[in-house]
Copies of this chain bind each other. A is one copy, B any other.
Amino acid sequence: MEHYPQTELDVESAASFLDISVQRMQELMERRVLVPNWNEYQHLFRFEHKALQIDIGSVLVQKGNVFSLIRGFPKIKRAMLLGPAIKHNFSDIPRVAVEEKMNGYNVRVILLDGKLVALTRSGHVCPYSSEKANDLLDHDFFTENPQFVVYGEMVGPDNPYVPKKIYDIGSLEFFVFDIRQKNTGLPLPLHERRSLAEKYSFRQVRLFGEFDIQEAPDVVRHIIQDIGRKGHEGVVIKDPKMVLQPIKYTASQSNCSDLQHAMKVYNESGRDFIFSRIVREGFQSVEWDENEEDFRKRCLQLGESILRPMKESIIKVREGERVAEEFTIRVKDRATISRFEEYMRRLGMDVMFSEPKIEDNEYVVHMTKINKSTSDKTLAMWEGQLWS
């Protein structure tokens, strides 16, 4: 582990930047609302709790006594019933834009001391995502537009958080879905954002189009059905001016895919995570006015998504194995591997790393995360323990 000089927060300047008293600023630090990042990023302070109207995951960056604030990802609320939700939430505008919601993990990218840095949803600097951002994104954007932060989705199979092979992506790609002002977090209007991203050849989430409020529910339904057949996730419905709050909606197949993963590791999955996926199926089925045959298909699909992965985990443990998840990362700089390993350890993730293999001038590392809770609970059942 390398050693970096510790950076002290300049409390007075920070307080002045955030327009609060020095005492309040000190409180935020003492109560660990604001927490410094690690290593060379100790001048990046992430909000671990919401405070001062600033969302969790926002990051305060200190350079000398100059500050900037990288706002977190705004939570996008979910429609349960597309028609009523579109009508109610966008009643003041004539048209909505529909973009794809991809299944990966969120990062924000900024330029810091000459290099791109990728901040995760929680505001940590992810060394792996940072290497990828440097590879995938044109730095000129950041030098020419220092006032902006790029918000996007890291997607693909070489993904240490949400590995997905559903997008025909070889390794990992970054898809922009937002460009926002530093400090205020104000978003660029949709078309402005898309042209700007286009100018720098950034990959972007798909835009399905702009639709009249009246036709939008039907159009989105067909988009969702198509997306579902491909195994993709869903859509985000946006005010093209980005003034009204966007809303999200997902395909049944994506809900079921979430359930499959959750039930494979059933004892570590949040009950609320499982419940919410189930509830979405109920509302979609009613809104789309399914016939009995399609309804039974949906029920079978739901039941199988729940029971099949759980069954496989129980059998695996009976056979003496442990329930585990596998991930792959692929890097150009060998140092990124140890930095990512340290990062995982610091986050409290118990992950085993394979020896790196060289493929096409890159280092490929396989990671295994044992799902200890599910493995142990299942083994206890096979040993005749009682549930509770």
Contact = CB atoms under 8 A, between A and B. Distances in A.
A303 to B, nearest CB: 3
A84 to B, nearest CB: 4
A53 interface: no
Contacts of A88: 383-385
A88 B388 CA distance: 15
Given A263-B282, A271-B272, A275-B271, A300 B300 contact: yes
A311 B285 contact: yes
A283 interface: yes
A272 B267 CA distance: 12
B296 A302 contact: no
Nearest to A267: B279
A314 interface: yes
B84 A283 contact: no
Contacts of A307: 278, 281-282, 285, 295, 298-299, 302
Contact of A283 (B85, B285, B308, B381): B381
Contacts of A381: 80-81, 84-85, 283
Nearest to A272: B271
Contacts of A299: 300, 303-304, 306-308
Given A77-B388, A85-B386, A88-B383, A278 B306 contact: yes
Contacts of A4: none
A237 to B, nearest CB: 11
Interface string A304-317: 10111011001100
A39 interface: no
Contacts of A143: none
Contacts of A263: 278, 282
- Specify the main secondary structure of chain A where it touches its partner: helix
Interface residues of A, number: 51
A315 B384 CA distance: 43
Interface in A368-388: 381-388
A79 interface: yes
A312 B340 CA distance: 49
Nearest to A387: B78
A174 interface: no
B247 A77 contact: no
A124 to B, nearest CB: 24
B81 A384 contact: yes
Given A77-B386, A282-B307, 4 more contacts: A81-B384, A281-B306, A298-B307, A301-B303
Interface of A: 77-81, 84-89, 247, 263, 266, 271-272, 274-276, 278-279, 281-283, 285-286, 295-296, 298-304, 306-308, 310-311, 314-315, 318, 381-388
15 contacts: A77-B386, A81-B384, A85-B384, A247-B386, A263-B278, A266-B282, A271-B271, A271-B272, A271-B274, A274-B274, A278-B307, A296-B304, A300-B300, A300-B303, A303-B303
